């Protein structure tokens, strides 16, 4: 796979609170679900259609971690590959609202909710993004707040907030 | 891969706050890191050793999502495959404290921090587990609080708390 990082890099100063990005869509197949679950989340309701039908989920559903991973990849494609990212910091929260079932299509939006300069490291800023992920019926699947370090273009210009 | 779910199932009533579980160890190779990052987190510092050396991370590092996924798999092996799990609810928080570098070994502990019966669904209980993940030098790599639904053996016995 080619490296998707492009050279139209946006620095911390180029980002704005409230900016939104469309994520996906991506359809999730039975094979996708089983391959991921086999490695990371090997439960019958992620591996076997018969067991899945008898479970609370009512059918073969993707691991919530797969939904998270796919959403992250969508954010990389839509935003992070175009900013001077210095790596992730973590989540403020993650909620799985509804399972992503076999054949469902995942899409959503990411909104920049906060931009904060680091107090201790003037060359770094902290970008916070809220994910709002849905299935093809518009039903909410997952919410997540992600914090990521972004390089500041001109660390000397203006005091850290 | 054989289905790891065993039949020595522990129900909600069989779990105790404060119970701890050893997770891992698992060594992370360059190939593991690049394969995961190619699919979910395609940044140069997860894909290319030369770029990684020039980055903030100082060398090839696993995606934080891979650290999370590996930790989840360890919890499945140590605990969740042996309880009557009904699926995950989400995280209260996730922090990447230090990158997991090529050749590092991930291990840690999971501690049951809370056990709560559902008010609305007497057949369900909510298990909260705190992850404390380290590298082979004992340095903290990741912390995470995971909430998971567990089946109650005797929903009629005792009121929901």
Q: B2: which 2 tokens?
A: 């054989």
A130-156: pLDDT as tens digits:
999 999 999 999 999 999 999 999 998
Q: How far apart are CA A78 and CA A24, in angstroms?
A: 9
DSSP 8-class letter at B10? B
Q: Is the pLDDT of residue A161 over 50?
A: no
B97 sits in which H/E element: none
pLDDT value, residue B158? 61
Q: Do B43 and A80 touch (CB under 8 A)?
A: yes
pLDDT in tens, B133-158: 999 999 999 999 999 999 999 998 76
Q: What is the dihedral of CA A17, A20, A21, A26, to 10 degrees?
A: 130
Quick: pLDDT tens for B88-122: 888 777 888 999 999 999 999 999 999 999 999 99
C-alpha distances in Å from residue B68, one per residue of B94, B105, B134: 9, 14, 12
Q: How confident is the model at residue A158 (pLDDT cuts 50, 70, 90)?
A: low
Residue A2 binned pLDDT confidence (cut-offs 50, 70, 90): very low
Q: How far apart are CA A40 and CA B30, in angstroms?
A: 18
Within 8 A of B69 by CB-CB distance, chain A residues are: 39-40, 65, 69
Decide: A27 and A104 in contact? Cβ < 8 Å: yes
Burial A11-42 (b: 16+ CB within 10 A, else e): ebbebeeeeebebbeeebeeeebbebbeebbb
Residues in chain B with CB shorter than 8 Å from the CB of A24 are none
Residue A114 distance to chain B (closest CA, Å): 18
Residues in B closer than 8 angstroms to A46, CB to CB, are none
Residue of chain A nearest B151, judged by CA positions: A56
Burial A100-114 (b: 16+ CB within 10 A, else e): bbbebebbbbbebee
Residues in chain B with CB shorter than 8 Å from the CB of A42 are 1, 3-5, 73, 76, 81
Predicted local confidence at residue A56, as pLDDT? 82
pLDDT of A159 higher than 70:
no
Task: Name the average pLDDT for chain B.
Answer: 90
Q: Percent of chain B at pLDDT above 90? A: 72
Mutation target to probe the B interface, by most B beta carbons within 10 A, among A40, A50, A73 is A40
pLDDT (average), residues B42-49: 90
Give me the torsion for CA of A141, A144, A150, A152, rounded to 10°.
110
Q: Give all domains of chain B, ordered by start, each with its CATH number.
A: 12-151 (3.10.129.10)
Q: Which of A64, A76, A149 sits opposite B88 (nearest CB)?
A: A64
Output the pLDDT for position B91: 78
Which residues in B have their CB inside 8 Å of a CB on A? 1, 3-5, 38-45, 47-48, 55-57, 64-65, 68-70, 72-73, 76, 80-81, 85-96, 99, 149
pLDDT single digits (tens) A94-136:
888 999 999 999 999 999 999 999 999 999 999 999 999 999 9
Instruction: Measure the CA angle with vertex A71, ends A68 and A74; round to 5°.
Output: 155
For residue B44, what pLDDT band results from cuts at 50, 70 and 90? Answer: confident
Q: What would the pLDDT profile of A25-68 be if each residue is shown by its tens digit? A: 999 999 999 999 998 888 888 999 999 998 888 899 999 889 99
pTM: 0.83
Rg (CA), chain A: 18
Is B73 in Cβ contact with A42 (below 8 Å)? yes
Q: What is the pLDDT of residues A67-82, one digit of tens each?
A: 999 999 999 999 998 9
């Amino acid at each position: 796979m080619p490296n998707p990082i492009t050279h139209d890099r946006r620095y911390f100063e180029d980002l704005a609170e409230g900016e939104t990005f469309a994520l996906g869509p991506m359809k999730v197949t039975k094979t996708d679900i089983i391959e991921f679950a086999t490695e990371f989340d090997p439960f019958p309701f992620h591996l076997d259609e018969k067991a899945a039908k008898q479970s609370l989920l009512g059918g073969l559903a993707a691991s919530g971690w797969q939904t998270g991973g796919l959403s992250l990849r969508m954010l990389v494609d839509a935003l992070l590959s175009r900013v001077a990212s210095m790596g992730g910091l973590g989540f403020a929260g993650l909620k799985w609202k509804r399972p992503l079932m076999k054949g469902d299509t995942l899409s959503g939006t990411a909104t920049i909710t906060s931009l904060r300069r680091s107090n201790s490291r003037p060359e770094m800023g902290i970008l916070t993004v809220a994910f709002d992920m849905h299935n093809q019926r518009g039903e909410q699947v997952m919410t997540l707040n992600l914090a990521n370090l972004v390089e500041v273009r001109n660390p000397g210009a203006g005091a850290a907030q």
